[in-house]
Amino acid sequence: MSIKNFGKQVATIWKDLRPMTRKMLVKALESNTKKQNITYDAHADWELSNLLNALDKQVRDNRPDPKKAREMRDLAEICASVLETQTESAEVFIQLAERALARNDYAKIDQLADVLFERFSAGETSEVIRQTNLPQIRAIAFETLAVLPVSLIAPLLEDPLYFEIACNVLEQQAVEFESEEARHVLEQLEFVEGKQWQ
């Protein structure tokens, strides 16, 4: 596989990868597995996300010959798989979910929903809601928040960015799930807001 044949943007991003990130990808390609003992950080998240974007764009826009297209898709799938197993970023989650939706890959959407529940904080899940325009992705994030404990949702009320999201989630928990704890938080909130306006 010759990266320089994948187009200028992909080649530039590949050249600028840190050695540890490049080594991780090469090892994953050679062993054909995503499950590795790897050192992963926010910078690797950003690098892999950029590379995945560039690869997808190159395949979509330039229609390379079948062999080159397959090699680019293989590398893109490795990037996506590593991101799926490691990321805790709202932006990357949205990227992966949009990618799956574009391919009508509903099994992947289910996997990503599990990832959101298992690994993402309530705040980062709220960021998914704030940053996406796609109703399907917003729905997944709202469903994830709705099954979290009230103790994880209530602190979001203190952040103006997440206040409305937290209110909607607590209302769903109070009405649909008949959560007394959620109802109590909402009642307290109404009381406090009422006092503020008197």
Contact between 71 and 23 under an 8 Å Cβ cutoff? The reply is no
Segments making up each domain of the chain, as ranges: 1-86
Tell me the whole-structure pTM to 2 decimals.
Answer: 0.90
Contact between 93 and 115 under an 8 Å Cβ cutoff? The reply is yes
Contact between 125 and 142 under an 8 Å Cβ cutoff? The reply is no
| pLDDT tens digit at each of 198 positions of the chain | 689 889 999 999 999 999 999 988 888 888 765 555 667 889 999 999 999 999 999 999 888 788 888 999 999 999 999 999 999 999 999 999 999 999 999 999 999 999 999 999 999 999 999 999 999 999 999 999 999 999 999 999 999 999 999 999 999 999 999 999 999 999 999 865 654 422
Tell me the C-alpha distance between 178 and 173, whole Å.
6
C-alpha dihedral, 108 to 126 to 145 to 196, nearest 10°:
-170
